[in-house]
Amino acid sequence: MEFLASTALYNILRGPLVWLAFLVFIGGSSYKLYTLIDLAKKDKVIFPFISLKATLKSLFHWVIPFGSRNWRLRPVMTSVTFLFHICLVFTPIFLLSHNILWHESWGISWWSLPENIADIMTLIVIFTCIFFFLRRILIPEVKFVTFSSDYILLAISFLPFLTGFFAYHQWVLPHKAMVNLHILFGEVMLIAIPFTRLGHMFYFFLTRSWMGSNFAMWHTRDW
Ligand code: HEM
Ligand code: HEM
C-alpha cells in the first residue's frame, strides 16, 4: 500500500509511462489502421466492391441511435450501447481534472464539462458496464458466444472509470493510492486499444463500409 500511494510511483506513472501509453495508443492505432487498409487493398475483391455512397449512407444511419433497422430491433441494448459509448469517449476528453493536467504539461486547454455532469457520465459508464457484464453471464445465448477476452476487455474499459470516480470522491483507498491506480488503469486502456478488439473505435468505419456495400448490392434497406 505504501508503494501504491508513493510519490515515486506517481512520478513514473505521470512521466515515462504516460509518454509510452500515448505513443503506443497513437502509433499502434495508426499502424493497425494502415495494415488493415493495406490488407484490403491486396485482396482483389474488396476495393472494387466498396461503394462510397453505400458507405456514407450506412455510416449516417448507424451513428444515429435507432437510425438503422438493427438498432430498432434491440431498443434496450441500443440505448445502453449509445449511452455507454458517448460517456466513455467524451468524459475523459472533456474532464476538468484531465484538462488541468494537459494545461500543466503542455499549456493547452479546452472546454470542460461541469463537474457534476462529468460525475453522472462516469456513473453511466460504470452502470452500463455492469449491465453488459450481467447480460453476458445471465442470457444463455449471449453467454454461449462469450469468451474470457470479452470480460477482460470489459474490465479494461470499466476500471479507469471506477477508479477515476473513487479518486475524485476520495473514497475506498487513500487519495494518492487511488489516483495512482487510476492513472495505471487509464494507461493500460490506452495501450490495450491498438492490440485488442477495443481498436474498433478506429476501424468501425471499415466494417460499416463493407456491410453497407453488401446491403446496397442486395438492395436491402438494412444499412
Ligand atoms: C494518462 C492517463 C490518465 C491520467 C494521468 C489521468 C488522471 C486523472 C486525474 C488526476 C483525475 C482526478 C482525480 C481527482 O480529482 O482526485 C482523473 C479522474 C478521472 N479520469 Fe483520468 N487519467 C488518465 C486516464 C483516464 C482514462 C483513459 C479514462 C477513461 C477512458 C479516465 C477517466 C477518468 C474519470 C471518469 C475520472 C473521474 C470523473 C469524476 O467522477 O469526476 N482517465 N483522471
Ligand atoms: C468511438 C467509436 C466507437 C464505436 C463506433 C464503437 C462501437 C461499438 C459497437 C457497435 C459495439 C457493439 C454493441 C452491441 O453489441 O450492440 C461496441 C461494443 C463495445 N465497445 Fe465500442 N465503439 C467505439 C469506441 C469504444 C472505445 C473507445 C471503447 C473502450 C476503450 C469501447 C469499448 C467497447 C466494449 C467493451 C464493447 C462490448 C460491450 C459488451 O460487453 O457487450 N468502444 N462498440
* Residue 55, all three cell numbers: 458507405
Residue 94 near residue 118, CB atoms below 8 Å:
yes
Q: Is 89 in the pocket of ligand 2 (CB under 6 A)?
A: yes
Report how far residue 85's alpha carbon sits from residue 65's, in angstroms, rounded to the nearest whole number: 12
User: All domains of the chain, ordered by start, with CATH?
Assistant: 7-31+66-200 (1.20.950.20)
Report how far residue 122's alpha carbon sits from residue 130's, in angstroms, rounded to the nearest whole number: 13
CA–centroid distance, 183 to ligand 1, in Å, is 7
The predicted pLDDT at position 48 comes to: 77
- Which whole number is the average pLDDT over 145-163? 98
The structure's pTM equals 0.93
Alpha helices in the chain (DSSP H): 7-14, 16-42, 46-49, 52-63, 69-73, 75-93, 96-106, 115-138, 140-144, 148-169, 175-195, 200-217
Is residue 16 scored above 90 in pLDDT? Answer: yes
The predicted pLDDT at position 218 comes to: 66
> Which atom of ligand 2 is least distant from the CA of 89?
27
- Which whole number is the average pLDDT over 69-89? 95
The predicted pLDDT at position 46 comes to: 78
The predicted pLDDT at position 222 comes to: 60
Say which residue, 218 or 23, is predicted with more confidence. Answer: 23
Residue 223 near residue 69, CB atoms below 8 Å:
yes
> Quick one: what percent of the chain has pLDDT higher than 70?
97
* Residue 66, all three cell numbers: 435507432
pLDDT tens figures, 202-219 = 988 888 888 878 777 666
Residue 62 near residue 68, CB atoms below 8 Å:
yes
Residue nearest to atom 6 of ligand 2 (CA): 201
> Quick one: what percent of the chain has pLDDT higher than 90?
77
Q: Is 85 in the pocket of ligand 2 (CB under 6 A)?
A: yes
CA–centroid distance, 88 to ligand 2, in Å, is 9
